[in-house]
Structure 1
């Protein structure tokens, strides 16, 4: 192309409505190739550089980093991938902003004497938050002989989904939940001291059968809990008891149900965990379902 039909860096900048410094910046990074050099060594650009520069500016307006702009310009089909990645990044940033806003409102609206404690609680949580600490807690809490697939299913049920747009009280509930699961056992207790009887290494006991059955029982109980029905006999309770009986290799009898009611009443529990999970979401969770079924069992056993 004859050099007289090319634009100087200043002419390109003027036509694009940008500064010479901007054109030079993108040229130096290989995003805006020059077509030639003048006899004096000055850059010259073809007319297609104007469209390319406008494309670069449009991508930068969307806050795409310079390397991603280079990917879009240099690879067919890269725009969709880059936009998808950017959407994910923006979603993470928005989640962090929503969490920070709710945390600030929590601190702004509380009584002055509560502010320091709440600040320490929310300050211990990453932004945006994640549930990794909760998952680790449940992996420690569950019996060690549990198969990986069953363990994963239980953890998935036990770890709550975080709200997309948290209210201040939900931020506080999650911060307290995080503090609960990262604290040591009370009074220096050992892991075994904190475990229910069903988690102990007992001969013939099958924890995988127990937790699979409990998951089914919780699912069956959820509609009654949502409807506000009182705990009572039915398919959910039968499934709940059968999970314990089958895991222990015994028959489901009235005597077994009465004994199970007493064992469950004395077992170590994580009520505080489930209370805070309920504060995060009003949906039934394994804790509320277990309480409902245990109450149904206690009422039934009292009638034997």
Structure 2
């Protein structure tokens, strides 16, 4: 309660009690956040006993960087319901999301600066240009565009989405300098112009329709998973369930039988296919090793399976 005869106080006293400037109180009043109770005979603002608590609430909300429009919604909800509700919850959740993004960006920038600092002095200018081309936090949109140009044009959207989930590495939340560098190189790789007017497609893509490409990539996904399990155990390429599923994916997409002749022909075709090894090498650097071994990627699993197929096909050929 204020000590004046009418239980009200002026703008100066309110500002002093709240520990803010008169200009701040006037701004909140003019914005409609802190209504005045009355005006004195001289036209000066007068505030009621609840104004101090309301002003403190406003200050707390503004300290969390909430805009005036959001503070107004929170106060209006509290005035109507008698308590804070969904507007405050939504505002806090939004600020936490924003803060999380800012923290990720700061961690990325710190690792990027360390990457520049730790490289030889003669390489720093080039390193800075390479890393500076990537936003913080980084976007994977260039990688998605790269793969949409590489995959069969008539591939079903659901199959494309499923493949992108495993083919596109997500930037780590707390990256090391080497991971920032790997992502920057990956970004540069997929962003550079393709020679010859476009990307050269693998053999299996050239005649693949919607059904064939869906069959192919669904089967490849299963085969890559099985091959990845073998690779994590340190096993060299060999025939087995992973290779059978791999060959079956290509046979099913071409509506043909899995025979020794088909396997020999497939080994030759895959051996002549264009390769994007650098993409998978950088992906492995970005993901990081696990248990002392590089984590398998679809690219390294594909190479493991092709090696298994070539070894088997070579053994099956007549002397």
Normalised to the residue count of structure 2, the TM-score between the two structures is 0.89
The answer to whether the 8 A contact 1:204-1:248 is kept is no
Is 1:222 the counterpart of 2:222? The answer is no
Paired residue secondary structure (1:44): strand
User: Aligned ranges for residues 281-296 of structure 1 at < 5 Å?
Assistant: 281-282=287-288, 283-296=295-308
What is the Cα deviation at residue 65 of structure 1?
A: 2.4
Paired residue secondary structure (1:303): helix
1:266 to 272, 284, 302: 272
1:34 to 24, 36, 42: 36
Is 1:298 the counterpart of 2:305? The answer is no
1:62 to 43, 50, 64: 64
The answer to whether the 8 A contact 1:205-1:248 is kept is no
Which deviates the most, 105-114 or 251-260? 251-260
1:148 to 151, 157, 161: 157
Matched residues in 2 for 1:205 and 1:14: separation?
A: 74
Structure 2 gaps, min length 5: 78-84, 289-294
Normalised to the residue count of structure 1, the TM-score between the two structures is 0.94
The answer to whether the 8 A contact 1:196-1:268 is kept is yes
Structure 1 gaps, min length 5: none
Paired residue secondary structure (2:236): coil
The answer to whether the 8 A contact 1:3-1:38 is kept is no
CA-based RMSD: 1.8
1:190 to 191, 197, 221: 197
Matched residues in 1 for 2:150 and 2:94: separation?
A: 36
Please give the per-residue CA displacement for 1:88-141, whole angstroms capped at 9, x wherever unaligned: 111111111111101100111100111111111111111211000000000011
Corresponding residue of 1:126: 135
Matched residues in 1 for 2:183 and 2:146: separation?
A: 14
Paired residue secondary structure (1:139): helix
What is the Cα deviation at residue 204 of structure 1?
A: 11
Matched residues in 1 for 2:151 and 2:210: separation?
A: 17
Which deviates the most, 53-62 or 133-142? 53-62
1:84 to 93, 107, 110: 93
Matched residues in 2 for 1:257 and 1:56: separation?
A: 72
Please give the per-residue CA displacement for 1:42-82, whole angstroms capped at 9, x wherever unaligned: 11111111111111111122222222222221234201000
